Amino acid sequence: MSEADETLDEEQTRACSYLGAPVAIIAGAGTGKTRTLTHRIAYAAAQGELDPHATLAVTFTVAAADEMRSRLAQMGVESVQCRTFHSAALRQAQYFWPLAYGVNLPDIMEDTTALVRAACERTGLPATPASLAEVAQEVAWSKQSNVLAEDYVRLALDESRVTRAAPESVADAIVAYEEAKQAARVIDFDDVLLCAVALLATQRHIRVKVRDTYRHFLVDEFQDVSPIQARLLDLWLGERSDVCVVGDPAQTIHTFAGARPEYLVHFAAHHRGTTELNLTRNYRSTPQILAVANALNPRGLHLDATHEAGPEVTLAGQDTPDQERERVCRWLKELDRGGLAWSEMAVLTRTRAEAQHYGQELAENGIPVSRPSVVEPSAREGVHVGTLHAAKGKQWAAVCIVGAHEGGLPHPLATGPTRLAEERRLFYVGVTRAKTFLRVSWSERVNSRTVTRSRFVDEIAGAI
């Protein structure tokens, strides 16, 4: 390994060393998976095992792709294509669509609210914000899962999809949405993946061209891959074996959008000669926080601490939501008086509405709140406006998870074992965002109704 690899531990070094064959890396939270991926690319390039110009590194957010590209540039590796699935698919679809069909790829309608509203009105569903969001979610899920409208009802029941409207009504709305979209001669964001798959699956000369262009593949956050994304990767790969996937099944929190952790868990079964590796050394959190995380994930990777011991994790139940918010504000102010920067603190909620409520509460108590949409830099130096879903991939010195009562976390619609398992993983993601301080709080009376603390709090209580 090169001098740049001195920052890698034994597990990470091993993950960088298996080249030219399929590799599946189960990387626990805070174990340095991005560092491992970028060093793997740099090492393979230095060994002549990888051509950066013929390498496609795929992840799920533009920010993650930018970070990977920046790290590679710092190591002197240029020309690697670091893209999201949608970005890579769009680039290929826009280039090859005219060659295949003689016309440009249709325009992409990024805001499909008007089309969803028209579909709801046509099928008799209410055009309320909640109904519009629900239909839009099911449209996206059906595409990510490669589900035809005529199969939606059966598969939605099989997958325990929970919607306010009957599955038959949602299926009708999906059909109406597609018809409205075709009449407008546009496609939506998820259609980009379908278009790229259609091109590669049906046009042999295009398939050959793409496979000649990209010969080495790396996919980050592979636990979030959907069926259509897995199909696209297979079409990119063909019979070749130079692919490395990285992810953590314990952090799968987007199954509502089509994510399937089994693509990572069963990767070796579908790719002959796969080497499976684990990253377990956590460089983010204290042993106290990792004890809580491990209690939530008893059958998954056991995270090993590298930091010294820190303060104990706090579990706190208050009588009412008002009292809970007041205690959270007091906790944050105590950390501020102790010298911790506001920007190193986060309050994580289960829903967006709850996050907005807490943002207002913090501001009214004189606590600066992070507002990424505001241009002024100073406005971003506050406590982190956010949901547990949006916290994925981030970290703070101090994290407070609020609303940890039954009917809050887990969400009231999470009634079956599959949905409950995802809610547990969501809580796990929140816990593993914390580096030093972790507080979990709940209310004992909500809307004049007595509630109990979350079953997930019961699971971690013994680890504190």
In order along its 464 residues, the chain shows pLDDT tens digits of 443 445 899 999 999 999 989 999 999 999 999 999 999 999 999 999 999 999 999 999 999 999 999 999 999 998 999 999 999 999 999 999 999 999 999 999 989 999 999 999 999 999 999 899 999 999 999 999 989 889 999 988 888 787 888 999 999 999 999 999 999 999 999 999 999 999 999 999 999 999 999 999 999 999 999 999 999 999 999 989 999 999 999 999 998 889 999 999 999 999 999 999 999 999 999 999 999 999 999 999 999 999 999 999 999 999 999 999 999 999 999 999 999 999 999 999 999 999 999 999 999 999 999 865 433 444 458 999 799 999 999 999 999 999 999 999 999 888 888 889 999 999 999 999 999 999 999 999 998 899 999 999 999 999 98
- Sort 353 into a burial class: Cβ within 10 Å, 0-12 / 13-18 / 19+: exposed
pTM exceeding the 0.85 threshold for the entire prediction:
yes
| Lookup result for tokens 């079956």 | 416
Q: DSSP secondary-structure letter at 111?
A: -
DSSP for residue 106 = P
Question: Is-same-fold flag (3-89+192-279; 287-461)?
Answer: yes
What CATH architecture applies to the domain 3-89+192-279? 3-Layer(aba) Sandwich (3.40)
How large is the greatest C-alpha to C-alpha distance in the chain, in angstroms?
A: 67
**Alpha carbons 12 and 40: distance in angstroms, whole number:** 9
Gyration radius from the chain CA atoms:
23
| Helices H / strands E in the chain, number of each | 18, 16
Q: Does domain 287-461 have CATH number 3.40.1370.10?
A: no
CB proximity list for 51: less than 8 A, separation 6 or greater? 45, 215, 216
Using the 8-state DSSP alphabet, how is residue 308 labeled? Answer: P
Please state the domain extents for the chain: 3-89+192-279, 113-183, 287-461
Angle, nearest 10°, between helix axes 33-46 and 10-17? 40
